[in-house]
Chains A and B, each alone.
Chain A
Amino acid sequence: MASTDNQIIVVGRDPLPSVLHIEGGEELRMTIIVPEGVSCEKSMEIHLDGPGASLDIAGAWRCSSSERVHLQVIVRHNAPHCHSEQLFKGVVSGSARAEFDGLVYVAPGAMKTVAHQQAHSLLLSADAFCEARPQLEIYADDVECSHGATTGYLNPEELFYMRSRGIPEEEARAIQVEAFLAPVLNRLP
């Protein structure tokens, strides 16, 4: 793995590697998309094996009917001075179910690790379900690690504001969903 290009993986079209290794000084940039209508149960492990290895990964899913999406991402900081950034965003409606497990593991001796993980969901219907379980396991000192997970709903104030400007309700909702996913989707060419 030596490429700094953005690898794009569309689940259902492209295989998702189960284990990846990033060597010292190398960089991996990856974007995972789970399109509407695709169910999956996937797990991926990414190892940062040498000093200065860096990972920038993002993922988005849009489940709108009865999809079942379960994604597990394990990031292992095995060496010092590595950096990982993770951003996952999902929109779930209908009776779909989306789960995300994210583990950041910092091995003993992997000091000066910088690891950030964000997992945010937007829940659009009462029958939909989503859950994000971020986890940190840190066995080294002098590291900077953070994780955040939120579940939100479309903001009715935003919706009314848009409608009051003449944007029909359905379109206003679509704009909100698009805006929510934009930080991930903007990484696509």
Chain B
Amino acid sequence: MSDILLEIKDLHAGIEGREILKGVNLTIRRGEVHAVMGPNGAGKSTLSAVLAGRADYTVTSGSITYDGKDLLSLAPEERSWAGIFLSFQYPVEIPGVSITNFMKAALNARRKAAGQPELKPAEFLKLLKDKMALVQMKGEFAKREVNVGFSGGEKKRNEIFQMAMLEPTLSILDETDSGLDVDALRIVADGVNRLRTPRTASIVITHYQRLLEYIVPDVVHVLKDGRIVRSGGRELVDTIEKDGYDGIDG
């Protein structure tokens, strides 16, 4: 098992012919939490979209190696099976599909891909209950339609719940703090922290330093105009807090 989990090299990517990422380099080792910070429009969400395999984004050059594999050649579901998880900035509503059925389909698809038998109903229900407890969700939550009528906080907790269910190796939290009050932020951060292992890694994408008080990063990157212009330890968060993004250049 290699120490390096993700290696992004000179990544250029964009949408509708517009280049947004202009040569991103990033190396993430197992056990690490990386924060990617930056002003609006810097390319933070493009980075998460490209990592998760959103079809409307085009990679024009560069490479992404994940766990020894060429990530860009994998379909979104294959990336999930390989252990990648994106916590969406705007979680999607799926009317008519319950959380239970959604998670059952997700877990069993992954097990099928790995040549494992489906989970027994009792095993599945126990897992569901345990992971719901992690984000302080109550019993009826599992019966609700995915994200339909959820508050902002419930949607983000649902993302972390799904993350707990799928036990990813690399989790990408895209603006998970947006729209959260302090209580929900604590629950979400607590869930993420409890899922940290020496084998896994996280990318925390955020505009503000607030979430990083709860999920403490090992490395902080500043993304500006499609490039990482500075990387450093957590003290970089304080510099940004004090001087804003304007004061930081490559």
Contact = CB atoms under 8 A, between A and B. Distances in A.
Interface in B89-109: 91-97, 101-102, 105-107, 109
Contacts of B113: 166
Given A163-B76, A166-B77, A179 B166 contact: no
A53 B188 CA distance: 53
A83 B39 CA distance: 57
Contacts of A162: 94, 102, 105-106
Given A166-B106, A168-B109, A179 B54 contact: no
Nearest to B101: A175
Given A160-B54, A171-B109, A175-B105, A165 B92 contact: no
A178 B95 CA distance: 11
A2 interface: no
A167 interface: yes
Size bin of chain A's contact surface: 20 to 34
Contacts of A180: 96
B52 interface: yes
A117 B44 CA distance: 46
A72 to B, nearest CB: 27
A182 interface: yes
A35 B107 CA distance: 30
Interface in B105-122: 105-107, 109-110, 113
A175 B55 CA distance: 20
A160 B76 contact: yes
Given A160-B55, A160-B76, A175-B105, A165 B166 contact: yes
A141 interface: no
Interface in B161-192: 162, 166
Contact of B105 (A157, A158, A171, A182): A171
A68 B71 CA distance: 44
Interface string A150-170: 000001011011111111110
A166 B95 contact: no
Contact of B88 (A155, A161, A179, A182): A161
Interface in A127-168: 155, 157-158, 160-168
B94 A166 contact: no
A164 B86 contact: yes
Secondary structure at the A interface, as helix, strand, loop or mixed, is: helix
A171 B102 CA distance: 11
A169 B80 CA distance: 13
Contacts of B75: 163, 169
A164 B102 contact: no
B191 to A, nearest CB: 17
A155 B81 CA distance: 23
B38 interface: no
A165 B162 contact: yes
Given A163-B77, A168-B77, A182 B109 contact: no
Contacts of A166: 77, 80-81, 106-107, 109-110, 113, 166
A169 B92 contact: no
B53 interface: yes
A164 B80 contact: yes
A161 B93 CA distance: 9
A165 B102 contact: yes
Interface of B: 52-55, 75-77, 79-81, 85-86, 88, 91-97, 101-102, 105-107, 109-110, 113, 162, 166
Shortest 6 CB-CB contacts between residues of A and residues of B: A179-B96, A166-B80, A161-B92, A163-B76, A165-B106, A166-B110
Given A166-B80, A166-B106, A180-B96, 6 more contacts: A158-B93, A161-B88, A162-B105, A163-B53, A164-B77, A166-B113
17 contacts: A155-B92, A158-B92, A160-B92, A161-B92, A163-B75, A163-B76, A163-B80, A164-B77, A165-B102, A165-B166, A166-B106, A166-B107, A166-B113, A168-B109, A169-B77, A176-B94, A176-B97
